[in-house]
Chain A
Amino acid sequence: MLLDFERLAGLRPFLIGLTVVVCLFLILPIVFIAALSFGSSQWLIFPPPSWTFKWYQTLFSDSRWLYSALTSLKIAAIVTVLSIVLGFLAALGLNRGSFMGREALRALFLTPMILPVVVLAVALYALFLQLGLAGTTIAFIVAHLLIALPFSIISIGNALEGFDKSIEDAAILCGASPWEARLRVTVPAVSHGIFAAAIFSFLASWDEVVLAIFMASPTLQTLPVKIWATLRQDLTPVIAAASTILIAFTILLMVLAALFRKGRKV
């Protein structure tokens, strides 16, 4: 009864009503920000008195915003590549290895994902200060790689679970070298896992705030750090414009991921 949608009776309107409210609660703030980014009111009056593109003009004419967006893009791209390579190797080792402490090692690899990120941020900040690397691109890449890598290991590891290693062995028997077999047989076979790893790693770096706040210097900031610093001063609609671009980017990635999944089923 309670688990039969058709026979919920009086409970059904309640559950549907609550779910609709929750959906609105989840979606409206996002729609609201997108709408305000085109509104003319400096004080974010809603509904806006008139519509304008001026906040986007401000955003795109300010070299600091552009530079921080490019910095974000560059760091996220490098982190994605490193995360896939290291993640593929680590997943391969964790998946096939029979060495001691394998499960403990898997847990160690995933720990940065579950720990409070502020602890990691403060610890890395101290280390980079001592190494003289604070405020450099390297510091950003290392910090973001630590939290991106677990996503790669999980995604690629799951894909490897479903891959029959004997196909790789067959390629080797047919004369391929072990690495040739891995690159030309295994990698294409787990490409969906690698694709997922790429998206998650990219987003992990692109959206990351806390580590970035500690790794940033006045001259080197990612987009989230720039938003954070601006937010602490005022709620200018320029942030709404920047947020809307980030949201559009997210939707684009989601659609890409959905299309990719659909393409695989066919």
Chain B
Amino acid sequence: MVMSATTDGGQRTLRRDGSFGYVAPGLLLIVFFFVVPVLMLLMRSVLEPAPGLQNYVELLGSTTYLRVFMNTFIVAGLVTVVSVLIGYPVAWLLAIMPDRWSRLVLAIIILSMWTNLLARTYAWMVLLQRTGVINKTLLSLGIIDKPLSLVNNLVGVTIGMTYIMLPFVILPLIGVLKSIDPAILRAAALCGANKRQCFARVLLPLSLPGLAAGALMVFVMSLGYYVTPALLGGTSNMMLAELVAQFVQSLVNWGMGGAAALVLLIVTLVLYAIQLKFFNPNRAR
């Protein structure tokens, strides 16, 4: 963080050097097309169809909508856990393996990250369908007798979302693991710790802040995801973002749509606040 304006000892004023003017065009855009419309949407959630909180009562009181909240948290939680379990060992290896190889693995990770979201989701729709490659291979190997249903359900969403979120766990973790001094682990080993103890009591705790930050980011991103759950999930695992879209697009119910959007917004902001408070890398230094 750069701390300016303390050097000249003067008071900060709005237009002291005209630099506020540079920010103005962007600020106008943000205010008119971001702050105002989001506030208007939230207003509609308490004004339509009649002023009051009935939209929120309906949203939080009905079992149908509670199931959607549950689904959203289950999918986001599952994706986070799977991404962390797979991502941690990969990041670990990437942090210590020779550069030549890690560069290749990084290129693959970044390529998949930059590939169009719909192209990636389409790939999984084709791979996971009843007549898809995965079912065919398992059938011909005799592992299963009849095709598994891997798409339009929780399995499909979890695979598709993990595919998208994995880089967001791996990439930040590499830096964290690289910053740990290997001498600390040598010291632990010299003091008699075995491998398991070295990992559980030294390496894992030291990398925990980075791990938690990455996991929380993946969780928050998954909570608000729309495209992949809509295409790979079934009707019985609808997520919150789909609910918002459905209220607005199919049901043209702006009151309920606004209320669902506010719930999603608040959950996201609260989790971000937690992230900033506990895992902000800028704060500790």
Known contacts A15-B93, A99-B13: does B115 contact A117 (CB below 8 Å)?
A: no
- A1–B195 CB distance below 8 A: yes
B227 within 8 A of partner (CB)? yes
* Chain A residues near B98 (CB-CB < 8 A): 5
**Which residues of chain B from 94 to 131 have any CB-CB distance to chain A below 8 Å in the complex?**
94-98, 105, 108-112, 114-127, 129, 131
Q: Are A126 and B254 in contact (CB under 8 A)?
A: yes
- Chain A hits for B138, CB < 8 A: none
**Taking the complex as formed, is B191 at the interface, i.e. its CB lies under 8 A from any CB of chain A?**
no
Known contacts A96-B19, A98-B5; A1/B198 CB under 8 A:
yes
A residues in contact with B220, CB < 8 Å: 114
Indicate with 1 or 0, residue by residue over B1-44, a CB within 8 angstroms of chain A CB atoms: 11011001000111111011111111101100111111011001
Tally of A interface residues using CB under 8 Å: 87
Q: Which residues of A contact B116 (CB under 8 A)?
A: 207, 224, 243, 246-247, 250
Q: Chain A residues near B35: list those with CB within 8 A.
A: 108
Question: Contacts A19-B90, A32-B127, A119-B244: A86 and B114 contacting too (C-beta < 8 A)?
Answer: no
Chain B hits for A2, CB < 8 A: 185, 195, 198-199, 202-203
CB distance B33 to A1 under 8 Å? no
Is B25 in contact with A86, judged by CB distance below 8 angstroms?
yes
Residue of chain B at shortest CB distance from A91: B22
Identity of the chain B residue whose Cβ is nearest the Cβ of A11 in the assembled complex: B195
Q: Does B205 contact A (CB under 8 A)?
A: no
Contact count band on B: 35 or more
A92 neighbours in B (Cβ, 8 Å): 19, 22
Within 8 Å of chain B (Cβ to Cβ): is A93? yes
Neighbouring B residues of A30 by C-beta, 8 Å? 111-112, 115, 119-120, 123
Distance between B37 CB and nearest chain A CB, rounded to angstroms:
4
Q: Which of B61-69, B141-149, B260-268 contacts A (4 or more CB under 8 A)?
A: B260-268
Sample (22) of A-B pairs whose CB atoms are under 8 Å apart: A2-B202, A29-B127, A44-B132, A86-B26, A90-B22, A98-B12, A99-B20, A105-B23, A108-B35, A119-B224, A119-B265, A120-B34, A120-B37, A126-B40, A143-B33, A145-B29, A207-B117, A228-B227, A231-B125, A235-B126, A250-B114, A254-B110
Residues of A at the B interface (CB closer than 8 Å) are 1-5, 8, 11, 14-16, 18-19, 22-23, 25-27, 29-30, 32-33, 36, 43-46, 86-87, 89-90, 92-100, 103, 105, 108-109, 111-112, 114-127, 142-143, 145-146, 149, 153, 161, 203, 207, 209-210, 214, 224, 227-228, 231-232, 235, 239-240, 243-244, 246-247, 250-251, 253-254
